Amino acid sequence: MPELPEVETVRRGLAPVMEGRTLARVILRRENLRFPFPDGFGQMLTGRKIESISRRAKYLLFHLQGGVVMIAHLGMSGRFRIFTETPPAEEKHDHVIFETNDGTTIRYNDPRRFGFMLLTTTEEMACHPLLEKLGPEPVDLNLSAAELARQLEDRLVGQLKGRKSPIKTVLLDQTVIAGLGNIYVCEALFRAGISPQKKADRIKRNSIKLLAPAIVDILQEAIKSGGSSLRDHRQPSGELGYFQHRFAVYGKEGEACPKCGPAHPVRRITQSGRSTFYCAACQKS
DNA sequence: CTTGGGACCTGTGAGC
DNA sequence: TGCTCACAGGTCCCAA
């Protein structure tokens, strides 16, 4: 279920049990996920201290001692589970097991295996093919929401030019803005009152001025919601990756529009093979 | 260069 | 109960 807020929630869950710890064991229970694990994956990680865990777009970056960086992506169905006590038997699709020096087990489970884990280094990270073309971050703890919205607005003004695809599709392009996925694109367009079918290069400046802060706000709210529900789920075998969040339109086909009521039920259409949820009355710009 | 479609996987729920 | 189909939060690759 991972878009940017989910990945950030996972990062915040993993940080307290992994940062500052040394990896005592790394067990691969199969040889590949979406990509093969790199040669020497386990050996490269074992015995190294995890200095920090950061995030770029939907990628988790585990910064280890000696400049080693593990890049992890959760794909569609990847999850981490944390066990601070003796862990139960492995479950189906538990593909990777990390054990820290202080006795915590972290398991990566991924039924569809669209996720992956790769290795890079601090020096090569900046020009890593997966990372170098990513657009700006819509969430950054060091910047205010207003400043982030300003940056996104500039980015959108520049990037929407000459784009004939629907705005929905363009916002899913990780090189335009990093981290948006199907849910939050729908939600942001709804909040900004923009039709998902509008050609990107015909979005008016005023609409961009609404869209940029809508994106920032939606994502930050989702992270807040994830954070609180993460606490609720902090069981001995806390699961990371799911949280409850109320969506305005996503998955609400046929339900009353939250803005204009039952007169205009939420519609579902398909764009580039993926579902889009929107209100035809509220989203006309 | 942009764009659209298929590919990669497994699981789940609806309908018959 | 069991089958089939549509669909699922992502991204890469290739043809046009």
A227-241 pLDDT, tens per residue?
655 544 344 345 554
Verify whether residue A58 is a known catalytic residue: yes
Nucleotide C13 C1' to residue A130 CA (A): 14
DSSP class of A19: T
* Span A161-179, average pLDDT: 97
Read off the pTM.
0.95
**To 5 degrees, how large is the angle CA A277–CA A113–CA A129?**
85
pLDDT tens digits along A242-263: 445 679 999 999 999 999 989 9
Is strand B in 7 Å reach of the CB of A92? yes
Choose the catalytic residue: A56, A58, A81, A191.
Answer: A58
Is strand C in 7 Å reach of the CB of A275? yes
Nearest to A209 by CA among A277, A135, A162, A146: A146
Residue labelled with tokens 């820290």: A100
Nucleotide C5 C1' to residue A137 CA (A): 38
Is strand C in 7 Å reach of the CB of A110? no
**A1 falls in which pLDDT band (50, 70, 90)?**
low
Q: From the alpha carbon of A173, which nucleotide's C1' atom is closest?
A: C11
Q: What is the per-residue pLDDT for A237?
A: 43
Bases on strand B under 7 Å from any protein CB: 2-11
Verify whether residue A34 is a known catalytic residue: no
Rounded Cα gap, residues A155 and A14, in angstroms: 31
Rounded Cα gap, residues A191 and A202, in angstroms: 18
Smallest Cα–C1' distance to nucleotide B10: which residue has it? A112
Is strand B in 7 Å reach of the CB of A163? yes
pLDDT score of A152 more than 70: yes
- In sequence order, which residues have a C-beta less than 8 Å from that of residue A285 and are 6 or more positions away? A192, A193, A194, A195, A198, A203, A204, A206, A207, A210
Q: What is the per-residue pLDDT for A227?
A: 60
pLDDT score of A270 more than 50: yes
pLDDT tens digits along A85-118: 899 999 999 999 999 999 999 999 999 999 999 9
